[in-house]
Amino acid sequence: MTFLAPDAPADAPADAKAEAALATWLDGQAQALDSGAAEPALLLPRLGAAGVFGAGVPQALGGRATRPGQAALAEAVEAIARLSARSLAAGFVAWSQRSFIEYLLQSPNAALRERLLPGLLSGAVAGATGLSNAMKFLSGLEALQITARPEGAGWRLDGLMPWVTNLRREGFHVAAAIGHGDGRGAFVAALPHDTPGLHRSADLELMAMRATNTAAITLDAAPVGAEHVLHEDAARWLPQVRPAFLGLQCGLSIGLARRALEVAQAQSGPARAVLRAPLAALEARLAAEVQALYEGLEAGRFQAQAAPLFRIRIALAEIAAEAVGLELQASGGRAYLQPQGVEFARRWREAAFLPVITPSLVQLKAALAAAARPERAA
């Protein structure tokens, strides 16, 4: 997807026309997706129709990857970044959906992958990455919030997921990390929306990006069988999928930063010339972090070394906030007026969201500090 312009030539390929149509739709709906005025059910199928979720997925499985292995993840990050440049709500939903797809790609449960993947790629079915708690657990920041007790050939689940995106009311599957009740390890499963004992709350009262089907889930003796298990050993599998979880998340910051810098650079006036140097410097920092992200994903370094990925995620969110700040300075008072400043105000709220997406910047910094303490002691 290019998303550089909302128009496609009459003789353009069908996928290019679909992408251009999506870009036009996002430009018209970005404010409504942010405020919640848009119907949340519309977003996912539109993203699927434009092929967004196939980015980085092997073509043999119905995707659009042009590069092999871990290198293909960069294509998915770019797809999310291009969406986020127009609407962070769209990028946020795409991150959840594409992360869930990645879990299936990396799961040994081939039958589950074959059953769910077509609907996920098309956007007919939602995939929710409920592994935020699991990622914090992996970094020693939080205990698992869902526990399992054996029953027959499966388990009964109890617990809570307080913040999950892409819980589409028309149907979803949510990934969850589940600790065994006896304390002996944990596993990861994909839970269907109609699982008995699985309860979705009303949508959370977000400050922005309200059309993202973000809610809480409680589990009360919810049954799950082996057919829903993504991996039986969470401690071994979570580090394997964490680079995708966080790497795809980085696309949100990348897209927002690029758009804010583009708008800032387009402003004219002699007083704004003073911003050229800081804009160029921030653009260079952004490019360097993106390159480090893509090189690390392609080389597979982040599976064994999470700290560099944490630092990139922190840096990109901070760059996005700085970019929106420079957009404000370049736009001047126009950014604070209605209706001229509507898009800027949305980006300002979007930038405020990036530091609190789980794992938050504070949690990532805490994990880095904890990891550094033994080294200092040595």
Q: What is the pLDDT of residues 169-207, one digit of tens each?
A: 999 999 999 999 988 899 999 999 999 999 999 999 999
Say yes or no: 55 and 68 in one domain. yes
| 377 confidence band (pLDDT: 50, 70, 90) | very low
CA dihedral 91, 94, 96, 101 (to 10 degrees): -150
Q: Residue 370 above 60 pLDDT?
A: yes
Q: Residue 11 above 80 pLDDT?
A: no
Say yes or no: 254 and 360 in one domain. yes
The pLDDT of residue 3: 42
Mean pLDDT in residue range 150-164: 95
- Which amino acid would we find at residue 112? L
- Compute the distance between CA of residue 44 and CA of residue 93 in angstroms, rounded to an integer: 8
- Compute the distance between CA of residue 121 and CA of residue 115 in angstroms, rounded to an integer: 12
Those residues whose C-beta lies under 8 Å from the C-beta of residue 5, and which sit 6 or more positions away, are 20, 23
* Residue 2 domain flag: no
Please state the φ and ψ torsions of residue 265, each to the nearest 5 degrees: -70, -20
Q: Please return the burial class of 88, using the count of CB atoms within 10 Å of its CB with bins 0-12, 13-18 and 19+.
A: buried
Say yes or no: 271 and 326 in one domain. yes
The pLDDT of residue 109: 98
Q: Residue 355 above 90 pLDDT?
A: yes
**Which CATH number is 97's domain given?**
1.10.540
Say yes or no: 43 and 104 in one domain. yes
Mean pLDDT of the chain: 92
* Residue 4 domain flag: no
Those residues whose C-beta lies under 8 Å from the C-beta of residue 153, and which sit 6 or more positions away, are 225, 226
* Residue 378 domain flag: no
Strand 154-164 to strand 215-224: parallel, antiparallel, or no bridges (unpaired)?
Answer: antiparallel
261: nearest Cα among 240, 282, 288, 285: 282
* Residue 190 domain flag: yes
* Residue 6 domain flag: no
The pLDDT of residue 378: 41
Say yes or no: 143 and 242 in one domain. no
Q: Residue 4 above 50 pLDDT?
A: no
* Residue 26 domain flag: yes
* Residue 1 domain flag: no
Say yes or no: 267 and 363 in one domain. yes
Looking at 123, 139, 172, which one is the last position of a domain? Answer: 123
**Which CATH number is 138's domain given?**
2.40.110.10
Say yes or no: 92 and 147 in one domain. no
* Residue 272 domain flag: yes
Cβ atoms of residues 52 and 248 within 8 Å: no
The pLDDT of residue 333: 86
Share of the chain above pLDDT 90, in %: 79
Express each pLDDT in 62-81 by its tens digit: 999 998 877 899 999 999 99
Express each pLDDT in 97-145 by its tens digit: 999 999 999 999 999 999 999 999 999 999 999 988 888 888 777 889 9
Q: How many other CB atoms sit within 10 Å of the CB of residue 152?
A: 8
Express each pLDDT in 32-66 by its tens digit: 999 999 998 999 999 999 999 999 999 999 999 99
Share of the chain above pLDDT 70, in %: 94
Say yes or no: 305 and 335 in one domain. yes
Q: What distance, in Å, lies between the first and last C-alpha atoms of the chain?
A: 49
Say yes or no: 292 and 347 in one domain. yes
**Which CATH number is 277's domain given?**
1.20.140.10
Strand 186-192 to strand 126-129: parallel, antiparallel, or no bridges (unpaired)?
Answer: unpaired
Those residues whose C-beta lies under 8 Å from the C-beta of residue 18, and which sit 6 or more positions away, are 49, 50, 51
Q: Which stretch of 138-142, 160-164, 351-355 has the lowest confidence by average pLDDT? A: 138-142
Q: Residue 93 above 80 pLDDT?
A: yes
Domain span holding position 192? 129-234
Looking at 209, 234, 259, which one is the last position of a domain? Answer: 234
Say yes or no: 196 and 169 in one domain. yes
Say yes or no: 358 and 268 in one domain. yes
Please give the model's pTM, rounded to 2 decimal places: 0.93
Express each pLDDT in 197-238 by its tens digit: 999 999 999 999 999 999 999 999 999 999 999 999 999 999
Looking at 76, 100, 123, which one is the last position of a domain? Answer: 123
Say yes or no: 298 and 353 in one domain. yes
Express each pLDDT in 235-283 by its tens digit: 999 999 999 999 999 999 999 999 999 999 998 777 678 999 999 999 9
Q: Residue 318 above 90 pLDDT?
A: yes
Number of domains, the chain: 3
Q: Residue 374 above 80 pLDDT?
A: no
